[in-house]
Chains A and B, each alone.
Chain A
């Protein structure tokens, strides 16, 4: 979907091919960011009032006072289960409540006991449970240090950048005698009144304008900010969404990274500008430890990063080392949000997987997608009519390319009225859906959250009559300009609105829908063509709250309500599939995201890797970029390379802008059709592995697509790699993303490990940079020695057609001649796995015996799938191979041995995939 109305575009952008930066704010143009950033590190005005400390079993509370204006804050500190510390800071007595983000945490996080270790007039030392971890609360100035042993893991307010703009009365409207009386009664407020005279009163505190838009700011300044110091850390990651490298850069010489969900037309790469989604989670890593900071705030947020080693060259660092320079590397991070409170979760790791599970315990894990949604998706803005859909569908069969989903963009609706169909072009949607169902394929139709203001449109009338629209500052329904023209925006922050929205997906409400129709939520930043920065006015109202407070949550709620609708329509049986463009922390629970409106350029192909890696690190595993690039038309080479890359990324969808020529896979000559076919087929052979990885992500919060450092946390060579990645632990992918490439250099990690080329089975040692010559058909992918990957080699029309197919096990031996893997099987589309209807087995190879044991003895599921082939890589030639079945029956298995590559292939062992068995090589 293009983000902006063509007309608007033509006027504003007149054919240029880059983001118009002027449409989006810099920190300087965002009043609170400018104000906050002007504060420099130094002595903090905040002091902890230790006498106010209260310590219960689970919580410490303490007042902080700003010595400049005497405003008091309340600090709450919790020890949460799983090695997480939560720090909450709010005004002690705010003029009115400040927004605290609901619905993102999956529950009130369970706490663990805190205990006081020591206390004096300078501070308090608390124990954080068993692991010699302590929190030191220093009183003057206030700061927090989290220690383990003698080591400082993280310090808060160590640079004195805690800033909390208390709510205040506007000077020129302070006529209310009641308020004045109150102020007199409160000594703190009295002092504040005195102090405030000294404070420079800035106009922009109560109103600011950007371009032609004015923000009325009735609550005045309300920003919050806090700094975190990370000693020993040189690498920080996360805080998506930005089109930038995996490793975050320091921001001293430019703008901070911005988190503010925006519909950015033709975004630029390698800069900190905000994009469609925001996950305020940062990971910090060094060879000893991984930690995380989750800043739970949904308002516009800026993140500054600085580092004492950033400017240093490798030589400089070496010099430090040789000279024994005392300065340890350190990264300092500072978060600034426009409103709300400070509510921060410090995840203390120590391993990357610990951080993933800590974060998952707070916001939940990746939803377990229907198997088919891991297949290939064919999208375009737009498939014009039913006939078009049918012929594209037939094209896939004719060219023998599998796919699972075909997509319809906005043009399928009746005049951009979502939940409807164009009466001419899509006159009989059920017929079309049935046609797809007959081929075991599915469809996705777009449903955006802007609702056409039209009294003949049922959805609009219902929302208006129920009062579900977001209101403007004057209390009327907020109206903005989007695809349908004038549109209202339902208030998805309301639970009753979301329940109603969900009910609209019922088969009897959403006419023409069927069980193989799924949903795509676009434009949910929300995109408002004529709004400030192409989004909603911050003074629009969601009940008592301003849009300012909830902005980054809007897309999260839209997808939440939509996913709920898809679940409900099936009576809670079927897993939903919903793609969203905007997201927030926790969005992983509702479906997939994509990286928005990219372009058909090589750099956009490259950036798809760090963008999805960054999302994976903060819980959102189901990520993909538009294959081929949305804007512009890719060269054939770029298109092929993008298919090859996309085939190894979690969400695999081709998409194209309305104004680009057709690019279905078979339109570029038989050679390229064959290349694309092969890439897509490779994807399908790995479907069991993808599915298993998503099951794991769903269970543990571990990312499916991972940076190498996650699995090799002690190898600094991996820390900044973002041109290659892992799928799970066992597949390493280094896609070709250079035009005209004749080779790529992949770093194969692991000092004592080996990696097998999945195509040639050639073995390579780990801990080396491997040059791989490539041709147009090359997709450099390696299987880790020591792993077992189940695949299905009978690639069919769609993943559903492969449901009952047999498995081939690829057993890649490590130097110790062992290997481990898993096999997960369920029905692929229902929630019955929650009722223990699945097969989960551990496959292990050791001492020349390969065995399958049940990992979930209490689970039950039957499958017709069997093991058709076992390929053992790095094997030696056995004299005989014996299969022992569950009933003790033994039989010989035929095999073939390829001595040149040391590949042993066991022919048709034939046991059921769900059974116990052992295969012994002798």
Chain B
């Protein structure tokens, strides 16, 4: 007896199951328990149960026709055993196109649909496995790149500090040179003022030639010798060094001595030009009429000298500061939470598509080069523009070369997980708006892995 009950229970269960409602998932079965009437799921209407799936839409929400195409807002559940179950709009039921891989949507059409779920499932599983492997490998590589990124980050920080140190040193030097230049300038001014107070040009010059000759002629024998020259004259750019004998001879016009007349036409000219040699310690004899003119020249030379030096230091200082600012700018870019994108900074990636070669230099620019070699900018680094969930999934490069119809070229780069870092595809869906697929391990996200496991299969 008990046995019989069990059998009949099994039988009944089987019976109920055989009248299963087409087009619903198991979680919706509770709405379709066979009774006399059916309540539309939105509660809007009660209809006789025979009107469920009778190919006429009674419920606003389409819930009475889950298995037919009668309701405009309905949906049909593909069980797709062996693959992924999913919903399709009711309008795809019996439309002659196979939508469910288990062919359940075309139960009354001319379409000859095969059940392809198992194959699809296998392909899907293989694909997912492949994706998983890629993801695992990608994540491993990403870890490395993160580590590298951290090192690189430190390196860059160190570089920055170094540069900052150099800048500080230069700053000190710069101040010193500024002071010196200031001093030289002041001297020059003083000399100039003194000179302005002096006598007329001609007499001044005559007496000056004579007085300089006398100054050089230490032994007052009306002739300048090599020794005398070596004692009193020095090279402008190397004041400390004593002139060599050959140099002295050359200055004396090839001889070993020189009288006033010869002096007036040779060495005097060289000295007054003031670009190669000068009288030693000329400003050591202030007030002396002899030295005034020479003083001015020397002061002027000194001021120029200091200015040149200052400029050099200033340039060096500017260069360093520029480097610092560049580096700071680079470091200010968001390279991801772990600096994992930092390594891309100095890299460029190329891809040839039809007649164009595209180059993506991350965080810098995107360019396009045609076969003729003309290069066009498609945009300069703009910003991260991914989803709120993962802002690092997309980059935007903006303000490229202007377009014919106004606006400028721009490129949107989508980052996807892969084991290599490479530019995978470039498209131009609208004129001057480029879309790139850029694959790199650092785009691999562990969350993806979890999601993959749960919902993909």
Residues of A within 8 A of B (CB): 6, 10, 15, 384, 388, 400, 424-425, 438-440, 658-662, 793-797, 800-802, 805, 868-869, 907-908
Q: Looking at B69, B97, B354, which has the most chain A CB atoms within 10 Å of its CB?
A: B97
Q: Looking at A6, A384, A425, which has the most chain B CB atoms within 10 Å of its CB?
A: A384
- Cα(A402)–Cα(B428), bound, Å: 25
* Known interface pairs A440-B96, A440-B97, A908-B55; 9 further A-B residue pairs with C-beta atoms within 8 A, sorted by A's residue number: A10-B404, A15-B406, A425-B354, A439-B97, A658-B431, A659-B403, A659-B431, A796-B69, A796-B91
Would you call B54 an interface residue if the criterion is a C-beta within 8 Å of the partner chain's C-beta atoms?
yes
Lowest 3 A-B CB distances belong to which pairs?
A801-B95, A659-B405, A908-B56
CB-CB under 8 A from B429, the residues of chain A are 384, 388, 662
CB distance from B56 to the nearest CB of A (A): 4
Instruction: Verify B72–A793 contact, CB threshold 8 A.
Output: yes
Given A384-B428, A908-B56, are A659 and B91 also a contact pair (CB < 8 Å)? Answer: no
CB-CB under 8 A from A908, the residues of chain B are 54-56
Give the contacts of B21-67 with A (CB-CB under 8 A): 54-56, 58
Would you call B182 an interface residue if the criterion is a C-beta within 8 Å of the partner chain's C-beta atoms?
no
30 contacts between A and B (CB under 8 A): A6-B404, A15-B405, A388-B427, A400-B89, A424-B354, A439-B97, A440-B95, A659-B403, A659-B431, A660-B431, A661-B433, A662-B433, A793-B72, A794-B69, A794-B70, A794-B72, A795-B72, A795-B91, A796-B69, A796-B92, A797-B92, A797-B97, A800-B96, A801-B91, A801-B95, A802-B95, A868-B56, A908-B54, A908-B55, A908-B56
CB distance from B371 to the nearest CB of A (A): 13
Residues of B within 8 A of A (CB): 54-56, 58, 69-70, 72, 89, 91-92, 95-97, 354, 403-406, 427-433
CB-CB under 8 A from B404, the residues of chain A are 6, 10, 659
Across the two chains, which residue of chain A brings its CB closest to B427? A384
- Cα(A414)–Cα(B354), bound, Å: 13
Across the two chains, which residue of chain A brings its CB closest to B91? A796
CB-CB under 8 A from A662, the residues of chain B are 429-430, 433
Given A440-B96, A801-B96, A908-B56, are A660 and B70 also a contact pair (CB < 8 Å)? Answer: no
CB-CB under 8 A from A6, the residues of chain B are 404
Q: Looking at B92, B403, B428, B431, which has the most chain A CB atoms within 10 Å of its CB?
A: B431
Given A659-B403, A659-B431, A662-B429, are A796 and B72 also a contact pair (CB < 8 Å)? Answer: no
CB-CB under 8 A from A658, the residues of chain B are 431
Instruction: Verify B70–A868 contact, CB threshold 8 A.
Output: yes
CB-CB under 8 A from B428, the residues of chain A are 384
Instruction: Verify B95–A797 contact, CB threshold 8 A.
Output: yes
CB-CB under 8 A from A868, the residues of chain B are 55-56, 70
Across the two chains, which residue of chain B brings its CB closest to A391? B429
- Cα(A6)–Cα(B91), bound, Å: 44
Across the two chains, which residue of chain A brings its CB closest to B110? A804
- Cα(A423)–Cα(B343), bound, Å: 38
Across the two chains, which residue of chain B brings its CB closest to A383? B429
- Cα(A400)–Cα(B72), bound, Å: 11
CB distance from B105 to the nearest CB of A (A): 12
CB-CB under 8 A from A869, the residues of chain B are 56
Per DSSP, chain B at the interface is loop
CB distance from B210 to the nearest CB of A (A): 78
- Cα(A833)–Cα(B84), bound, Å: 45
Across the two chains, which residue of chain B brings its CB closest to A387? B427
Q: Looking at A6, A425, A805, which has the most chain B CB atoms within 10 Å of its CB?
A: A805
CB-CB under 8 A from A805, the residues of chain B are 69
CB distance from A411 to the nearest CB of B (A): 11
CB distance from A473 to the nearest CB of B (A): 36
CB distance from B219 to the nearest CB of A (A): 87
Instruction: Verify B354–A794 contact, CB threshold 8 A.
Output: no
- Cα(A384)–Cα(B427), bound, Å: 9
Across the two chains, which residue of chain A brings its CB closest to B354? A424
CB distance from B115 to the nearest CB of A (A): 17
Across the two chains, which residue of chain B brings its CB closest to A681? B72
CB distance from B32 to the nearest CB of A (A): 20
Instruction: Verify A438–B97 contact, CB threshold 8 A.
Output: yes
CB-CB under 8 A from A440, the residues of chain B are 95-97
CB-CB under 8 A from B70, the residues of chain A are 794, 868
CB-CB under 8 A from A439, the residues of chain B are 97
Instruction: Verify B97–A907 contact, CB threshold 8 A.
Output: no
Across the two chains, which residue of chain B brings its CB closest to A868? B56
CB-CB under 8 A from B54, the residues of chain A are 908
Q: Looking at B91, B92, B404, which has the most chain A CB atoms within 10 Å of its CB?
A: B91
- Cα(A624)–Cα(B56), bound, Å: 35
- Cα(A438)–Cα(B58), bound, Å: 32
Across the two chains, which residue of chain A brings its CB closest to B54? A908
Q: Looking at B95, B405, B406, which has the most chain A CB atoms within 10 Å of its CB?
A: B95
CB-CB under 8 A from B406, the residues of chain A are 15
CB-CB under 8 A from A801, the residues of chain B are 91, 95-97
CB distance from A387 to the nearest CB of B (A): 8
CB-CB under 8 A from B431, the residues of chain A are 658-660
- Cα(A195)–Cα(B445), bound, Å: 96
CB-CB under 8 A from B58, the residues of chain A are 907
CB distance from A881 to the nearest CB of B (A): 15
Given A438-B97, A794-B69, are A660 and B91 also a contact pair (CB < 8 Å)? Answer: no
Instruction: Verify A907–B91 contact, CB threshold 8 A.
Output: no
- Cα(A800)–Cα(B55), bound, Å: 20
CB-CB under 8 A from B92, the residues of chain A are 796-797
- Cα(A660)–Cα(B433), bound, Å: 10
- Cα(A438)–Cα(B113), bound, Å: 12
CB distance from B51 to the nearest CB of A (A): 9
- Cα(A321)–Cα(B435), bound, Å: 70
Across the two chains, which residue of chain B brings its CB closest to A802? B95
CB distance from A158 to the nearest CB of B (A): 52
- Cα(A384)–Cα(B429), bound, Å: 7
CB distance from B328 to the nearest CB of A (A): 36
CB-CB under 8 A from A10, the residues of chain B are 404
- Cα(A425)–Cα(B432), bound, Å: 18
Across the two chains, which residue of chain A brings its CB closest to B405? A659
Across the two chains, which residue of chain B brings its CB closest to A397? B92
CB distance from B89 to the nearest CB of A (A): 6
CB-CB under 8 A from A400, the residues of chain B are 89, 91
CB-CB under 8 A from A660, the residues of chain B are 405, 430-431
CB-CB under 8 A from A802, the residues of chain B are 95
CB distance from B83 to the nearest CB of A (A): 18
- Cα(A793)–Cα(B71), bound, Å: 9
Given A6-B404, A439-B97, are A794 and B91 also a contact pair (CB < 8 Å)? Answer: yes
CB distance from B290 to the nearest CB of A (A): 75
- Cα(A660)–Cα(B430), bound, Å: 7
- Cα(A400)–Cα(B429), bound, Å: 21
CB distance from B426 to the nearest CB of A (A): 11
CB-CB under 8 A from B432, the residues of chain A are 659
Across the two chains, which residue of chain B brings its CB closest to A659? B405
CB distance from A516 to the nearest CB of B (A): 14
Q: Which of B72, B89, B430 contacts A661 (CB 8 A)?
A: B430
Instruction: Verify B56–A907 contact, CB threshold 8 A.
Output: yes
CB distance from A415 to the nearest CB of B (A): 12
Instruction: Verify A796–B95 contact, CB threshold 8 A.
Output: yes
Across the two chains, which residue of chain A brings its CB closest to B48? A894
CB-CB under 8 A from A425, the residues of chain B are 354
CB-CB under 8 A from B97, the residues of chain A are 438-440, 797, 801
CB distance from A730 to the nearest CB of B (A): 23
- Cα(A852)–Cα(B295), bound, Å: 125
CB distance from A161 to the nearest CB of B (A): 47
- Cα(A659)–Cα(B97), bound, Å: 36
- Cα(A134)–Cα(B302), bound, Å: 119
Q: Looking at B58, B69, B430, B431, which has the most chain A CB atoms within 10 Å of its CB?
A: B430
- Cα(A666)–Cα(B123), bound, Å: 30
- Cα(A811)–Cα(B390), bound, Å: 55
- Cα(A662)–Cα(B429), bound, Å: 7
Across the two chains, which residue of chain B brings its CB closest to A656? B430
CB distance from A825 to the nearest CB of B (A): 17
CB distance from B135 to the nearest CB of A (A): 25
CB distance from A597 to the nearest CB of B (A): 14
